[in-house]
Structure 1
Amino acid sequence: MEHFDTDDVRTYMLDDDGRIPNNPTFPLLVYPGAIPTGDDPVGFCKSRLGDNGWAGTWVNGVFDYHHYHSNTHEFLGVVAGRAKLALGGPEGVELEVEAGDAVVLPAGTGHKRLESSSDFRVVGAYPGGQSYDMNTGAPDERPEVVDNIRRVGPPDKDPLFGDAGPLVDIWGSV
Protein backbone atom coordinates (compact mmCIF):
# COMPACT_ATOMS: atom_id res chain seq x y z
CA MET A 1 0.00 0.00 0.00
CA GLU A 2 3.05 2.29 0.11
CA HIS A 3 2.75 2.85 -3.63
CA PHE A 4 -0.48 3.92 -5.23
CA ASP A 5 -0.50 4.36 -8.99
CA THR A 6 -1.69 7.81 -10.01
CA ASP A 7 -3.25 6.16 -13.06
CA ASP A 8 -5.81 4.58 -10.69
CA VAL A 9 -7.03 7.97 -9.47
CA ARG A 10 -10.15 9.35 -11.12
CA THR A 11 -10.44 13.10 -11.55
CA TYR A 12 -13.51 15.27 -12.07
CA MET A 13 -13.56 18.97 -12.93
CA LEU A 14 -16.91 20.25 -11.69
CA ASP A 15 -18.49 23.46 -12.94
CA ASP A 16 -20.01 26.24 -10.87
CA ASP A 17 -23.78 25.73 -11.21
CA GLY A 18 -24.69 29.12 -9.73
CA ARG A 19 -25.48 27.54 -6.38
CA ILE A 20 -22.50 25.27 -5.62
CA PRO A 21 -19.30 26.98 -6.80
CA ASN A 22 -17.01 23.92 -6.88
CA ASN A 23 -13.36 24.62 -7.59
CA PRO A 24 -12.19 26.34 -10.78
CA THR A 25 -8.57 25.14 -10.37
CA PHE A 26 -8.33 21.72 -8.74
CA PRO A 27 -10.22 18.57 -9.76
CA LEU A 28 -12.04 16.29 -7.36
CA LEU A 29 -9.90 13.20 -6.74
CA VAL A 30 -11.19 9.66 -6.17
CA TYR A 31 -8.74 6.98 -5.01
CA PRO A 32 -10.47 3.60 -5.45
CA GLY A 33 -9.23 0.97 -3.00
CA ALA A 34 -6.51 3.15 -1.47
CA ILE A 35 -7.36 2.32 2.16
CA PRO A 36 -6.69 -1.16 3.54
CA THR A 37 -9.96 -2.62 4.82
CA GLY A 38 -8.39 -5.03 7.32
CA ASP A 39 -8.41 -4.76 11.09
CA ASP A 40 -8.16 -0.99 11.61
CA PRO A 41 -8.90 1.24 8.62
CA VAL A 42 -9.72 4.16 10.95
CA GLY A 43 -6.31 3.87 12.61
CA PHE A 44 -4.63 3.59 9.22
CA CYS A 45 -6.32 6.78 8.00
CA LYS A 46 -5.65 8.75 11.16
CA SER A 47 -1.99 7.71 11.17
CA ARG A 48 -1.42 8.56 7.50
CA LEU A 49 -3.36 11.80 7.73
CA GLY A 50 -1.39 12.88 10.80
CA ASP A 51 1.94 11.97 9.19
CA ASN A 52 1.04 14.08 6.16
CA GLY A 53 -0.21 17.20 7.94
CA TRP A 54 -3.96 16.59 7.55
CA ALA A 55 -5.63 17.07 10.92
CA GLY A 56 -8.94 17.81 12.62
CA THR A 57 -9.92 14.19 11.94
CA TRP A 58 -13.42 12.96 12.60
CA VAL A 59 -15.33 9.71 12.00
CA ASN A 60 -18.96 9.88 10.89
CA GLY A 61 -21.02 9.84 7.71
CA VAL A 62 -21.74 12.48 5.07
CA PHE A 63 -24.63 14.92 5.48
CA ASP A 64 -27.77 14.23 3.43
CA TYR A 65 -27.91 17.78 2.05
CA HIS A 66 -25.68 19.66 -0.41
CA HIS A 67 -22.94 21.55 1.36
CA TYR A 68 -19.37 22.68 0.82
CA HIS A 69 -16.44 24.38 2.52
CA SER A 70 -15.01 27.49 0.86
CA ASN A 71 -11.89 27.85 3.00
CA THR A 72 -10.32 24.38 2.97
CA HIS A 73 -9.97 21.13 1.07
CA GLU A 74 -11.44 17.96 2.64
CA PHE A 75 -10.43 14.30 2.73
CA LEU A 76 -13.07 11.58 3.04
CA GLY A 77 -11.80 8.03 3.55
CA VAL A 78 -14.49 5.35 3.45
CA VAL A 79 -13.71 2.96 6.31
CA ALA A 80 -16.96 0.96 6.37
CA GLY A 81 -19.99 0.31 4.21
CA ARG A 82 -20.94 1.88 0.92
CA ALA A 83 -22.76 4.98 -0.30
CA LYS A 84 -23.89 6.92 -3.31
CA LEU A 85 -22.69 10.50 -3.11
CA ALA A 86 -23.67 13.56 -5.11
CA LEU A 87 -20.45 15.49 -5.70
CA GLY A 88 -20.43 18.98 -7.18
CA GLY A 89 -24.03 19.83 -6.34
CA PRO A 90 -27.25 18.90 -8.16
CA GLU A 91 -25.53 19.38 -11.54
CA GLY A 92 -22.39 17.42 -10.57
CA VAL A 93 -21.72 13.68 -10.58
CA GLU A 94 -23.15 10.78 -8.60
CA LEU A 95 -20.52 8.29 -7.45
CA GLU A 96 -20.67 4.99 -5.63
CA VAL A 97 -18.01 4.62 -2.94
CA GLU A 98 -17.24 1.68 -0.71
CA ALA A 99 -14.92 0.72 2.11
CA GLY A 100 -11.35 1.31 0.96
CA ASP A 101 -12.09 4.27 -1.30
CA ALA A 102 -10.91 7.81 -0.60
CA VAL A 103 -12.10 11.14 -1.98
CA VAL A 104 -10.33 14.50 -1.86
CA LEU A 105 -12.70 17.43 -2.26
CA PRO A 106 -11.07 20.68 -3.31
CA ALA A 107 -12.38 23.78 -1.53
CA GLY A 108 -15.84 24.69 -2.81
CA THR A 109 -16.82 21.19 -3.91
CA GLY A 110 -20.39 20.29 -3.01
CA HIS A 111 -21.06 16.93 -1.43
CA LYS A 112 -24.16 15.10 -0.25
CA ARG A 113 -25.05 11.53 0.74
CA LEU A 114 -27.85 10.24 -1.48
CA GLU A 115 -28.06 6.75 0.01
CA SER A 116 -25.87 4.45 2.06
CA SER A 117 -25.62 1.19 3.90
CA SER A 118 -26.38 1.37 7.61
CA ASP A 119 -22.69 0.85 8.47
CA PHE A 120 -21.35 3.61 6.19
CA ARG A 121 -18.55 5.58 7.89
CA VAL A 122 -15.83 7.91 6.71
CA VAL A 123 -12.75 9.42 8.28
CA GLY A 124 -12.55 13.11 7.40
CA ALA A 125 -9.69 15.59 7.73
CA TYR A 126 -8.40 18.94 6.48
CA PRO A 127 -4.88 20.04 5.48
CA GLY A 128 -3.16 21.63 8.43
CA GLY A 129 -6.26 20.95 10.55
CA GLN A 130 -7.89 23.98 8.95
CA SER A 131 -11.18 24.90 10.57
CA TYR A 132 -13.90 24.66 7.94
CA ASP A 133 -16.84 26.89 7.14
CA MET A 134 -20.25 25.43 6.26
CA ASN A 135 -22.06 26.59 3.16
CA THR A 136 -25.18 25.22 1.49
CA GLY A 137 -25.45 27.20 -1.72
CA ALA A 138 -27.62 30.02 -0.40
CA PRO A 139 -27.51 33.13 -2.63
CA ASP A 140 -26.18 35.34 0.17
CA GLU A 141 -22.98 33.26 0.42
CA ARG A 142 -21.56 34.81 -2.73
CA PRO A 143 -19.26 36.54 -3.66
CA GLU A 144 -17.27 35.94 -0.46
CA VAL A 145 -17.12 32.15 -0.88
CA VAL A 146 -15.91 32.41 -4.48
CA ASP A 147 -13.06 34.65 -3.32
CA ASN A 148 -12.26 32.24 -0.46
CA ILE A 149 -12.08 29.27 -2.83
CA ARG A 150 -9.65 31.04 -5.16
CA ARG A 151 -7.33 31.75 -2.22
CA VAL A 152 -7.01 28.11 -1.10
CA GLY A 153 -3.82 26.72 -2.61
CA PRO A 154 -2.74 23.10 -2.88
CA PRO A 155 -1.72 21.30 0.32
CA ASP A 156 1.95 20.45 0.76
CA LYS A 157 1.27 16.71 0.93
CA ASP A 158 -1.14 14.11 -0.31
CA PRO A 159 -3.34 13.03 2.64
CA LEU A 160 -2.45 9.32 2.34
CA PHE A 161 0.81 9.21 0.40
CA GLY A 162 2.73 12.32 1.40
CA ASP A 163 5.24 14.00 -0.90
CA ALA A 164 4.85 11.58 -3.80
CA GLY A 165 1.11 11.01 -3.81
CA PRO A 166 -1.52 11.53 -6.49
CA LEU A 167 -2.69 14.87 -5.10
CA VAL A 168 0.84 16.29 -5.34
CA ASP A 169 1.24 14.94 -8.87
CA ILE A 170 -2.17 16.03 -10.17
CA TRP A 171 -2.80 19.28 -8.31
CA GLY A 172 0.86 20.27 -8.60
CA SER A 173 0.60 20.20 -12.39
CA VAL A 174 -2.44 22.51 -12.48
Structure 2
Amino acid sequence: MNDKQEVIHGHVIAEILPESGEFPNNPNLPVLVYKGSLFLHPEDEPGKILEIFDRNGWRNGWEGGIQDVHHYHRNTHEVLGVFCGTVDLQLGGPEGICVELGRGDAVVIPAGVAHKNINSSSDFLCAGAYPDGRDYDMNYGKEGDQDTIVAEISGVPIPVNDPLFGNAGPLPEHWR
Protein backbone atom coordinates (compact mmCIF):
# COMPACT_ATOMS: atom_id res chain seq x y z
CA MET A 1 0.00 0.00 0.00
CA ASN A 2 1.10 3.52 -0.61
CA ASP A 3 0.10 6.56 1.42
CA LYS A 4 -3.44 6.38 0.00
CA GLN A 5 -5.66 3.67 1.37
CA GLU A 6 -6.60 1.79 -1.81
CA VAL A 7 -8.64 -1.09 -0.43
CA ILE A 8 -10.70 -1.30 2.69
CA HIS A 9 -12.40 -4.20 4.34
CA GLY A 10 -16.05 -3.80 3.48
CA HIS A 11 -18.88 -6.25 3.77
CA VAL A 12 -18.17 -9.60 2.05
CA ILE A 13 -20.94 -12.00 1.05
CA ALA A 14 -19.99 -15.64 0.36
CA GLU A 15 -22.42 -18.00 -1.37
CA ILE A 16 -22.02 -21.40 -3.03
CA LEU A 17 -24.26 -21.69 -6.07
CA PRO A 18 -25.58 -25.16 -6.93
CA GLU A 19 -25.46 -26.71 -10.39
CA SER A 20 -28.36 -25.43 -12.49
CA GLY A 21 -28.83 -27.83 -15.38
CA GLU A 22 -26.99 -26.17 -18.21
CA PHE A 23 -24.44 -24.47 -15.93
CA PRO A 24 -22.14 -26.45 -13.62
CA ASN A 25 -21.40 -23.57 -11.22
CA ASN A 26 -18.95 -24.60 -8.50
CA PRO A 27 -19.98 -27.00 -5.73
CA ASN A 28 -16.86 -26.28 -3.65
CA LEU A 29 -16.08 -22.57 -3.83
CA PRO A 30 -18.41 -19.69 -2.98
CA VAL A 31 -18.83 -16.55 -5.02
CA LEU A 32 -17.40 -13.67 -2.98
CA VAL A 33 -19.11 -10.28 -3.25
CA TYR A 34 -17.08 -7.41 -1.76
CA LYS A 35 -19.30 -4.41 -1.03
CA GLY A 36 -17.45 -1.10 -0.79
CA SER A 37 -13.99 -2.65 -0.68
CA LEU A 38 -12.27 -0.67 -3.45
CA PHE A 39 -11.60 2.88 -2.33
CA LEU A 40 -11.30 4.97 -5.49
CA HIS A 41 -10.38 8.65 -5.52
CA PRO A 42 -12.13 10.97 -7.99
CA GLU A 43 -8.88 11.44 -9.94
CA ASP A 44 -8.25 7.68 -10.28
CA GLU A 45 -8.46 6.03 -13.69
CA PRO A 46 -9.98 2.55 -14.26
CA GLY A 47 -6.44 1.17 -14.41
CA LYS A 48 -6.21 1.75 -10.64
CA ILE A 49 -8.34 -1.35 -10.11
CA LEU A 50 -6.06 -3.36 -12.40
CA GLU A 51 -3.04 -2.15 -10.38
CA ILE A 52 -4.63 -3.50 -7.19
CA PHE A 53 -5.41 -6.84 -8.84
CA ASP A 54 -1.93 -7.05 -10.38
CA ARG A 55 -0.20 -6.33 -7.07
CA ASN A 56 -2.01 -9.37 -5.65
CA GLY A 57 -1.18 -11.73 -8.54
CA TRP A 58 -4.40 -11.36 -10.55
CA ARG A 59 -3.36 -10.40 -14.08
CA ASN A 60 -4.35 -10.62 -17.77
CA GLY A 61 -6.61 -7.69 -16.93
CA TRP A 62 -9.12 -5.83 -19.02
CA GLU A 63 -11.49 -2.86 -18.76
CA GLY A 64 -15.01 -2.75 -20.18
CA GLY A 65 -18.42 -4.23 -19.53
CA ILE A 66 -19.81 -7.66 -18.71
CA GLN A 67 -21.46 -9.82 -21.35
CA ASP A 68 -25.25 -9.82 -21.41
CA VAL A 69 -25.41 -13.58 -21.93
CA HIS A 70 -24.90 -16.31 -19.33
CA HIS A 71 -21.35 -17.62 -19.60
CA TYR A 72 -18.66 -19.18 -17.46
CA HIS A 73 -14.98 -20.06 -17.49
CA ARG A 74 -14.08 -23.68 -16.84
CA ASN A 75 -10.33 -23.06 -16.70
CA THR A 76 -9.97 -20.07 -14.37
CA HIS A 77 -11.52 -17.94 -11.65
CA GLU A 78 -12.28 -14.26 -12.36
CA VAL A 79 -12.43 -11.03 -10.38
CA LEU A 80 -14.48 -8.02 -11.44
CA GLY A 81 -14.17 -4.56 -9.85
CA VAL A 82 -16.62 -1.75 -10.60
CA PHE A 83 -15.06 1.59 -11.54
CA CYS A 84 -18.25 3.56 -12.27
CA GLY A 85 -21.95 3.08 -12.73
CA THR A 86 -23.99 0.12 -11.56
CA VAL A 87 -24.74 -3.37 -12.80
CA ASP A 88 -27.25 -6.06 -11.89
CA LEU A 89 -25.14 -9.20 -12.17
CA GLN A 90 -26.85 -12.56 -12.27
CA LEU A 91 -24.74 -15.38 -10.88
CA GLY A 92 -25.43 -19.10 -11.25
CA GLY A 93 -27.50 -19.09 -14.44
CA PRO A 94 -31.15 -18.21 -15.09
CA GLU A 95 -32.25 -19.58 -11.71
CA GLY A 96 -29.32 -18.02 -9.85
CA ILE A 97 -29.00 -14.98 -7.64
CA CYS A 98 -28.78 -11.34 -8.67
CA VAL A 99 -26.45 -8.84 -7.01
CA GLU A 100 -26.30 -5.11 -7.59
CA LEU A 101 -22.77 -3.79 -7.82
CA GLY A 102 -21.66 -0.17 -7.87
CA ARG A 103 -18.47 1.87 -7.74
CA GLY A 104 -16.01 0.31 -5.34
CA ASP A 105 -17.66 -3.13 -5.28
CA ALA A 106 -15.96 -6.29 -6.51
CA VAL A 107 -16.89 -9.92 -7.05
CA VAL A 108 -14.74 -13.05 -7.26
CA ILE A 109 -16.37 -15.64 -9.50
CA PRO A 110 -15.10 -19.22 -9.13
CA ALA A 111 -14.44 -21.30 -12.23
CA GLY A 112 -17.69 -22.79 -13.53
CA VAL A 113 -20.04 -20.15 -12.13
CA ALA A 114 -22.27 -18.61 -14.77
CA HIS A 115 -22.52 -14.83 -14.81
CA LYS A 116 -24.45 -12.30 -16.88
CA ASN A 117 -25.09 -8.56 -16.97
CA ILE A 118 -28.87 -8.33 -16.80
CA ASN A 119 -28.96 -4.54 -16.53
CA SER A 120 -26.41 -1.77 -16.20
CA SER A 121 -26.28 2.01 -16.15
CA SER A 122 -25.08 3.78 -19.28
CA ASP A 123 -21.82 4.75 -17.53
CA PHE A 124 -21.03 1.25 -16.21
CA LEU A 125 -17.36 0.34 -16.43
CA CYS A 126 -15.51 -2.45 -14.67
CA ALA A 127 -12.11 -4.13 -14.71
CA GLY A 128 -11.45 -7.83 -14.58
CA ALA A 129 -8.48 -10.16 -14.09
CA TYR A 130 -7.52 -13.78 -13.50
CA PRO A 131 -5.21 -15.46 -10.96
CA ASP A 132 -1.62 -15.64 -12.17
CA GLY A 133 -2.75 -14.09 -15.46
CA ARG A 134 -4.39 -17.30 -16.64
CA ASP A 135 -6.05 -17.27 -20.04
CA TYR A 136 -9.80 -17.74 -19.92
CA ASP A 137 -12.15 -19.80 -22.03
CA MET A 138 -15.78 -18.96 -22.83
CA ASN A 139 -18.57 -21.45 -22.20
CA TYR A 140 -22.28 -20.82 -22.66
CA GLY A 141 -23.86 -23.91 -21.11
CA LYS A 142 -24.63 -27.45 -22.32
CA GLU A 143 -21.16 -27.93 -23.86
CA GLY A 144 -21.07 -31.67 -23.29
CA ASP A 145 -20.35 -34.21 -20.58
CA GLN A 146 -21.06 -32.51 -17.25
CA ASP A 147 -18.83 -34.98 -15.35
CA THR A 148 -15.82 -33.97 -17.47
CA ILE A 149 -16.64 -30.27 -17.10
CA VAL A 150 -17.02 -30.53 -13.32
CA ALA A 151 -13.70 -32.41 -13.09
CA GLU A 152 -11.96 -29.65 -15.08
CA ILE A 153 -13.49 -26.95 -12.87
CA SER A 154 -12.47 -28.79 -9.70
CA GLY A 155 -8.91 -28.97 -11.03
CA VAL A 156 -8.52 -25.19 -11.35
CA PRO A 157 -5.93 -24.15 -8.72
CA ILE A 158 -6.96 -22.06 -5.73
CA PRO A 159 -5.27 -18.64 -5.98
CA VAL A 160 -2.57 -17.89 -3.44
CA ASN A 161 -3.84 -14.34 -2.85
CA ASP A 162 -7.11 -12.51 -2.54
CA PRO A 163 -7.29 -10.10 -5.52
CA LEU A 164 -7.96 -7.09 -3.28
CA PHE A 165 -6.23 -7.88 0.01
CA GLY A 166 -3.40 -10.29 -0.79
CA ASN A 167 -2.83 -13.19 1.60
CA ALA A 168 -4.91 -11.66 4.41
CA GLY A 169 -8.25 -11.25 2.60
CA PRO A 170 -11.54 -13.10 2.55
CA LEU A 171 -10.60 -15.41 -0.33
CA PRO A 172 -8.02 -17.45 1.61
CA GLU A 173 -10.49 -17.66 4.50
CA HIS A 174 -13.44 -18.86 2.37
CA TRP A 175 -11.60 -20.94 -0.26
CA ARG A 176 -9.23 -23.05 1.88
Alpha-carbon shift at residue 2 of structure 1 (Å) = 6.3
- 2:39 corresponding residue in structure 1: 36
Q: What is the Cα deviation at residue 119 of structure 1?
A: 0.8
Mean Cα displacement is larger for which, 69-78 or 162-171? 162-171
Matched AA of 2:100: E
Classify the secondary structure of the residue corresponding to 1:9: strand
Report the counterpart of residue 101 of structure 1 in structure 2. 105
C-alpha root-mean-square deviation of aligned residues, in Å? 1.6
Residues 141 and 4 from structure 1, CA distance in 2 versus in 1: closer, same or farther, beyond 3 angstroms? farther
5+ residue gaps, structure 2, are none
**2:166 is the alignment partner of 1:150:** no
Q: 1:100 to 1:91 in 2, by over 3 A?
A: same
Cα distance, 1:144 vs structure 2: 3.0
Is contact 1:16–1:23 with CA below 8 Å preserved after alignment?
Answer: yes
Q: Which moved more, 1:34-43 or 1:77-86?
A: 34-43
Residue 153 of structure 1 aligns to which amino acid in structure 2? Answer: P
SS of residue in 2 equivalent to 1:140: coil
Check if 1:27 corresponds to 2:30: yes
Counterpart check, 1:50 vs 2:39: no
User: Which of 9, 12, 15 is 1:12 aligned to?
Assistant: 15
Q: Which residue number corresponds to residue 59 of structure 1? A: 63
Match for 1:140: what amino acid? G
Stretch moving more, 24-33 or 39-48: 39-48
Aligned to 1:115: 119
Structure 1 unaligned residues grouped into runs of 5+ = none
Alpha-carbon distance, 1:41 to partner: 5.2
Aligned equivalents of 1:142, 1:122: Cα separation in 2: 31
**Separation in 1, partners of 2:145, 2:69:** 16
CA gap 1:14/1:41 in 2 versus in 1, 3 angstroms? farther
Q: CA deviation at 1:67?
A: 0.2
Task: Tell me what 2:81 maps to.
Answer: 77
Q: State how far apart, in whole Å, the 1-side matches of 2:95 and 2:158 are.
A: 25
Task: Work out whether residues 4 and 165 of structure 1, in 8 Å CA contact, stay in contact via their aligned partners in 2.
Answer: no
* Structure (1/2) with the larger helix percentage: 1
CA apart distance, 1:141: 5.8
Residues of 2 paired with 1:109 and 1:171: CA distance?
A: 15
After TM superposition, the score normalised by the length of structure 1 is 0.92
